[in-house]
Amino acid sequence: MTLSEPELRAAITRELPGVRADLERLVRIPGIAFDGFDHSHVERSAEAVAELLRGCGLDTRIVRSGGGLPAVIGSRPAPPGAPTVLLYAHHDVQPVGDLALWESDPFVAVERDGRLYGRGAADDKAGVMAHVAALRAYGDELPVGVVIFVEGEEEFGSASLEQLLAEHRDALAADVIVIADSGNWDIGVPALTTSLRGIVNMFVEVRTADHAIHSGMFGGAVPDSLTVLAKLLATLHDDAGDVAVDGLVSAGPTPVDYPEDRLRVEAGLLDGVSFVGTGRLTERIWHRPAVSVLGIDAPRTAEAPNALAPSAKAKLSVRLAPGDDPKSAYAAMKAHLEKHVPWGAHVEVTFEHDGAPCVIDATGPMFDAARDAFRTAWDGVDPVDIGVGGSIPFIATFQEMFPGAAILVTGVEDPHAQAHGPNESLHLGEFARVCLAEALLLRSVADAAGPLAS
């Protein structure tokens, strides 16, 4: 006999203070997998996660592939006849950007108005801790086998993930996968994520001259590279703001819509700034490609001399609709950029990283079990099936390796979490529900697998 619902509620309440203290400890470790950052912190972060898993009684090791960063695998065998559940999260975080925009140190977790602020407090150290909370709540009475896989380079494109999964294929085999790296529909309303966009990031560099030249002597006859880059980037969208790159795929209609005023507030859109693109908002952010300019290397305005810059470089990110393929999307972008560069300027497109989109058929007993667990944890509120505009490349890779496994995509993020931006935060009330939902979910999965077990 495993724990009852009231026992699990009590166990989560008992465990939450310790879980929060450990989350705060994880937030202190600036484990950023991007090139150019000190990767010793990612190593420390993997060790901290491994320690937490050992504390839950899991057989735990730190693994890596090739030159990749460390992931942590922990496991505990299934009781006889019970299913095995793979729990996924990642321990690396995004860079913090401009520190001046943070109201408190990104690597010191601070509570304000019921939210815990800090880089990774939500994405995805809280995902790691939701798994830990569920394991601690059960102690020795876990009704399922578990394998936990905590990745260390998700935010930088998971370069070694495929190899890592192939090397540990047998250890990671599971009947059900719980991915705690997505989010909920709103505060107080849970969600089950059923599609995610893919991603392909790239750089485009344009060159017009072999050195910087006097803007008065040459301007008017010689193009400057920044104007070339601006004109080139402007060809990526049509006047309505829809992506104008041939060869990128769109998916079909979405089942729910997002109120415009809600998205305006959540995005912090300024008065008078319109949305871009056409169609339902959920179609635009879940089911269609998006092309964004993430950064530009160019002279800084305060230091720019009166000279025509000979070269300029932009970082572009394309979100891919479910059904698209990262390799063909990159080829389509490269062809577009090479074709549309104005005035014969030299153009070079280089690949950074990619990840495939995914669609999950959320029907069947495991998904019903998950919905029941969410409904209970949110005191009777039905979960909404949602798409997500962000990406979790692990999912498509996993679907390919284990086509039979049910993939439950859950998570702690809410529309105000500001993941990837300054002042990222976790809603502590929702986090408690997510922890309870995961504990309940493991129980419902064991029950739903009952017929399989016999």
Quote the CA–CA distance of 78 and 168 in Å, as a whole number: 18
Q: Which of 24, 154, 175, 283 binds ligand BES (CB under 6 A)?
A: 154
Q: Contact, 30 vs 41, CB < 8 A?
A: yes
Cα Rg of the chain, angstroms? 23
Q: Which of 24, 151, 155, 372 binds ligand BES (CB under 6 A)?
A: 155
Position among 393, 430, 438, 449 found at the interface with ligand BES (CB under 6 A): 393
Query: Smallest gap, in angstroms, from Cβ of residue 393 to ligand BES?
Result: 5
DSSP, collapsed to helix, strand or coil, labels residue 334 as helix
Residue 3 or 132: the one with the smaller Cβ distance to ligand BES is 132
The 10 Å CB-count burial string (b at 16+, else e) for 150-161 is bbbbbbbbbbbb
Residue 171 neighbours by CB under 8 Å, 6+ apart: 73, 75, 147
| In contact, 253 and 195? CB cutoff 8 Å | no
Site for ligand BES in 405-434 (CB under 6 A): 413
| Residue 290 or 392 having the CB closest to ligand BES | 392
Question: Which one of residues 19, 128, 332, 392 is an interface residue with ligand BES (CB under 6 A)?
Answer: 392
Beta-bridge partners for 148: 74, 87
Q: How far apart are CA 106 and CA 165, in angstroms?
A: 31
Q: Is 355 in the site for ligand BES (CB under 6 A)?
A: yes
Q: Is the peptide bond before 170 cis (omega within 30 degrees of 0)?
A: no
157 binds ligand BES (CB under 6 A): yes
Q: List the interface residues with ligand BES, window 62-101 (CB under 6 A).
A: none
Is 322 a binding residue for ligand BES by CB under 6 A? The answer is no
Stretch that binds ligand BES, among 58-66, 221-229, 255-263, 391-399 (CB under 6 A): 391-399
What is the DSSP code (8-state) at residue 311? E
Q: Is 123 in the site for ligand BES (CB under 6 A)?
A: yes
CB of 50 to ligand BES, least distance (A): 20
Whether omega for the bond prior to residue 261 falls within 30 degrees of 0, making it cis, is no
Among the candidate windows 79-87, 108-116, 291-299, 390-398, which touches ligand BES by CB under 6 A? Answer: 390-398
Interface residues with ligand BES (CB under 6 A) are: 123-124, 154-155, 157, 181-183, 199, 355, 388, 390-393, 413
